[in-house]
Amino acid sequence: MLTAEELERYARHIVLREVGGPGQAALQAARVLVVGAGGLGAPVLLYLAAAGVGRIAIVDDDTVSLSNLQRQVIHSTDDVGRPKVESAAAAIRRLNPHVTVETHATRLAAANALELISGYDLVADGSDNFATRYLVSDACFFARKTLVTAAVGIFDGTLTTIRAHERGRDGKPNPTYRCLFPEPPAAGTIPACAEAGILGALPGVLGSMMALEVIREIVGFGEGLTGRLLMVDARAMRFETLNYGWDPANPLSGEKPTMRDLSGHA
């Protein structure tokens, strides 16, 4: 039940026909795990906290560095050297004391992914490497959790929602992350952010859109991004959507699945 203070805080949501009191109550009851408190995770965390998501968890094993502050806006100069989960949690509490914050100062790995993910309703993946993205998406499949995942390059970004544990209206399984990207790119073909650079506002844009997609999934309005990849070109300021579907050959939910657990992840 919302208090008088919360009713005022979320008034702009509550007057929205698509959200209203029931939608705000759904946000309050939601449990969301955010993977990464970096460039993508920062706006996700801030906007989910501002929206009143009742329980937000952060998993990240990194500490704040000065070079992070060009884009990781949840941290400040005084936070340099501090664990990112602590810095992010403090910022969330300052923004909205009604939100419960849980911190996991660890690296997501095959040994802990299922246990971590199983405790939440939905996962927002803002990790910065392919190994973690595949691990998170596979773990969400086995844990039967919805995943909102994004990635950014130098001047481009992508966003999609994975509900691979469910079936679509056509009766076919929803696509997995591996239906979209069957194999990660070869090592060394995608330069790291530290080598290639990144436009600071770009992860802010994609992270904000991740938060919007998470909110839409929780409240249940609009057309979600299941089976659709949103692509952002920051050079041309162009947005395009690619439709993708279930691949019968994918190793998770294909006709002859070969993956039964996360043992294939290092």
What pLDDT is attached to residue 85? 98
74, 136, 147 from 156: Cα distances, Å? 22, 22, 21
What pLDDT is attached to residue 214? 98
Domain spans of the chain, in order of start: 10-243
pLDDT along the chain (266 residues), means of 10: 93 96 97 97 98 98 96 97 98 98 96 96 95 96 98 94 94 95 76 75 97 98 96 96 96 94 86
What pLDDT is attached to residue 1? 81
What pLDDT is attached to residue 265? 87
What pLDDT is attached to residue 188? 64
What pLDDT is attached to residue 197? 81
Q: DSSP class of residue 189?
A: S
Buried-exposed string 9-34: b where 16+ CB fall within 10 A, e elsewhere: bbeebbeeeebeeebbbbbbebbbbb
The CATH class that applies to domain 10-243 reads alpha beta
What pLDDT is attached to residue 184? 82
Entry pTM: 0.95
